[in-house]
Amino acid sequence: MKYAINRRTFLRLSATTLSAAPFLSFNTIIAEKPLLQFGMMTDSHFADCPSRGIRFFHESKEKMQECVDLMNKRKVDFMIHLGDLKDEGKPAVESETLQYLQEIERVYAQFSGPRYHAIGNHDLDSISKKQFLDHIENTGISKDKSYYSFDKQGFHFIVLDANYLKDGTDHGHRNFHWEDTQLSTEEWQWLQRDLLNNTLPTIVFLHHTLHDVGEKGKKYHVTDSHKIRKLLEESGNVLAVFQGHYHQEKYQKINGIHYYVLKAMVDYSGKKNNSYAIVKLYKNGVLEIEGFRRAISKSLHFNLIKNEN
């Protein structure tokens, strides 16, 4: 069964169903079928090389297989990987890096529905952005697009790419620093147009964060992230932003938009330390994150405020 929803419906339903508290108990019973549900994972960092610290690179293929199998069983509407799909050996060899990318993408490709990627900094360590895009699939999206949007069942989804130098040059082949990230001028203009032309409730995905996660001396957020957040707020349609990169769970609600960082798949050994989630959207204004293994579950609600012209 397909569902459709518009701004006015969201305004009416969110105003009559939930209190102002930003969290609900995860045990809240939601009897109805979600309007849409999608699978989400991040920071698999697959490489066939020894572990370093808490990162067990070679185990990520098995962890992703578990995730994909569950998403197929649950019949989610699509899947999104939030970046750092693969990693590299030490020393890095380009041909080996590409092999790691192909191996982990083959596991992801076993998902039976549409699948998407946001590009992470480790996706571009010893290869180019073009090489990465050539070896992955974003369903229905042109191979040359590193940022894009799509609609599913009454919702709009935006995938951003912050892997640019200040002059708009693509990150790639070590020509970047992981703390120096921004949207290109072209992408910024595209995002403005995309938000302006959209009237659907919207969710944004990217690898780097749009809020300061608060770790002293390190910058995980996108340069000028406050300007991007302001643009999202002004659209009046954005419900949530889902991010990776930080490896730890982090949540913040800023001016009505939920910002959620998903825990990394690569960290710690064994399936018990896997991390992935299903996000479910309900017509009563509930956004439910069902976390698996180490991933944190949350039930949130949204309260869209949009002037009707």
Query: What residues form DSSP beta bridges with 267?
Result: 55
Quote the CA–CA distance of 158 and 21 in Å, as a whole number: 26
Stretch 108-121: mean pLDDT? 97
Has residue 1 been placed in a domain?
no
Please say whether the beta carbons of 298 and 23 come within 8 A: yes
Q: Which domain holds residue 231?
A: 7-19+34-301
Supply the pLDDT for residue 214.
72
Has residue 192 been placed in a domain?
yes
Question: Is the model's pLDDT at 30 over the cut of 60?
Answer: no
Alpha helices, DSSP H only, in 18-124? Answer: 60-74, 94-108
Has residue 2 been placed in a domain?
no
pLDDT tens digits, one per residue of 204-232: 999 999 988 777 767 778 888 899 999 99
- Domains in the chain, number: 1
Count of CB atoms within 10 A of residue 231's CB? 15
Over the chain, what is the mean pLDDT? 87
The torsion region of residue 246 among left (phi > 0), alpha (psi -120 to 50) and beta comes to alpha
Query: For the stretch 72-85, what's the b/e string if a residue is b when 16 or more beta carbons lie within 10 angstroms of its beta carbon?
Result: eeeebbbbbbbbbb
Question: Is the model's pLDDT at 273 over the cut of 90?
Answer: yes
Has residue 206 been placed in a domain?
yes
Cis geometry, peptide bond prior to residue 22 (ω within 30 degrees of 0): no
Report the CATH number at residue 128. 3.60.21.10
Has residue 25 been placed in a domain?
no
Quote the CA–CA distance of 221 and 200 in Å, as a whole number: 26
Kindly list the distances between the CA atom of residue 48 and the CA atoms of 55, 101, 103, in Å, as whole numbers in the listed order.
12, 10, 10
Has residue 258 been placed in a domain?
yes
Has residue 124 been placed in a domain?
yes
Question: Is the model's pLDDT at 12 over the cut of 70?
Answer: no
Supply the pLDDT for residue 7.
43
Question: Among 36-40, 162-166, 263-267, which stretch is predicted with the lowest mean pLDDT?
Answer: 162-166
pLDDT tens digits, one per residue of 56-95: 999 999 999 999 999 999 999 999 999 999 999 999 999 9
Question: Is the model's pLDDT at 197 over the cut of 50?
Answer: yes
Supply the pLDDT for residue 13.
40
Quote the CA–CA distance of 36 and 223 in Å, as a whole number: 32
Supply the pLDDT for residue 217.
67
Has residue 99 been placed in a domain?
yes
What is the pTM assigned to this prediction? 0.87
